[in-house]
């Protein structure tokens, strides 16, 4: 996956996770709250992977330009 794809999927998972948590809070559904938190954390991890891929690409581009 590209870094952009990772970031987009991460944002989507965070958003859906937050919605699930909100619904879980409103309905006092602990399972839904936990699922939402897990999905939010998954989204954060996906965004971090995307950021790391960008960092590696930028470092490689810097090395190439100096050669």
The pLDDT tens digits for 26-53 are 999 999 999 999 999 999 999 999 999 9
> What pLDDT does residue 66 have?
86
> What pLDDT does residue 34 have?
98
CB-side exposure of 44: number of CA atoms within 13 Å?
8
**Averaged pLDDT for residues 5-33:** 97
Q: How many domains does the chain have?
A: 1
pTM: 0.82
**Averaged pLDDT for residues 10-38:** 98
**Orientation of helix 3-27 relative to helix 30-66, angle to 10°:** 160
Per-position DSSP letters for 8-31, written without gaps between them: HHHHHHHHHHHHHHHHHHHHT-HH
> What pLDDT does residue 35 have?
98
CA-CA distance, 3 to 12, in Å (whole number)? 14
């Amino acid at each position: 996956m590209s870094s952009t794809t990772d970031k987009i999927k991460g944002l989507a998972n965070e958003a859906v996770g937050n919605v699930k948590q909100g619904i879980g809070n409103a309905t006092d559904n602990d399972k839904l709250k936990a699922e939402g938190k897990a999905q939010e954390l998954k989204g954060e991890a996906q965004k971090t992977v995307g950021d790391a891929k960008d960092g590696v690409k930028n470092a490689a581009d810097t090395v190439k330009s100096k050669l």
